[in-house]
Amino acid sequence: MSSGVELIQANAGHRSVPENLLQLYIHDFSELVPLDADDDGRFSYNDLSLYGSDASRLAFLAKLDGKLAGFVPITRISEPAGDGDVFDMTEFFVLRRCRHRGIGRDLAEKVWLRCPGRWQIRVTANNVAALGFWASSIAAFTGRTAERASFESDGKAWHLFRFDSHRSA
């Protein structure tokens, strides 16, 4: 069922909105991974400047009743093996006040439909809420149990979900 969330592709006119929402996202995330604020009280995020200048990076804002509800930067990755492109769900954030109302699932579905193709979503193994969210959202979208693999990176355990939003649409 649609939550009524509106998907807006971020552009230069949105100026600092993605940057500000990322601060909230990283702060949430610092409960799960050891991320410290810089001396100026902000968290650093290296790749943000690439959104808007790099054609493979897109950022979406979510609004509900005209108010910001979420933020979704994605990256289009070319597979070296020549298998075509994969969309990577680089980050995914629903503002706290908006959670547990089906907004995240609706937002994810709108992004998958806007960008049809193969998708990958990496989730740290200790992000229990996100693991439950992605497993149930992908299954609801595709009608199948989500395909999930495990891997390690920098000594941390991760899960990787993969599916094709084109076939599911």
Binding site for ligand COA (CB under 6 A): 25, 28, 92-94, 99-105, 123, 127, 129-130, 132-133, 136-137
Looking at the Cβ atoms of 51 and 93, the one nearer to ligand COA is 93
Triad 84, 87, 89: Cα angle to 5°: 160
Looking at the Cβ atoms of 99 and 148, the one nearer to ligand COA is 99
Q: How far apart are CA 60 and CA 115, in angstroms?
A: 11
Instruction: Say if CB 30 and CB 43 are below 8 A apart.
Output: yes
Please report how close the Cβ of residue 12 comes to ligand COA at its closest, in angstroms. 25
Please report how close the Cβ of residue 119 comes to ligand COA at its closest, in angstroms. 12
Instruction: Say if CB 70 and CB 93 are below 8 A apart.
Output: yes
Looking at the Cβ atoms of 59 and 103, the one nearer to ligand COA is 103
Indicate the DSSP class of residue 91: -
Looking at the Cβ atoms of 51 and 106, the one nearer to ligand COA is 106
Please report how close the Cβ of residue 70 comes to ligand COA at its closest, in angstroms. 7
Nearest to 19 by CA among 62, 51, 65, 41: 51
Which amino acid does the sequence have at 89? M
Please report how close the Cβ of residue 40 comes to ligand COA at its closest, in angstroms. 23
Looking at the Cβ atoms of 127 and 165, the one nearer to ligand COA is 127
Please report how close the Cβ of residue 116 comes to ligand COA at its closest, in angstroms. 21
Please tell me the number of Cα atoms within 13 Å of 61 on its side-chain side: 21
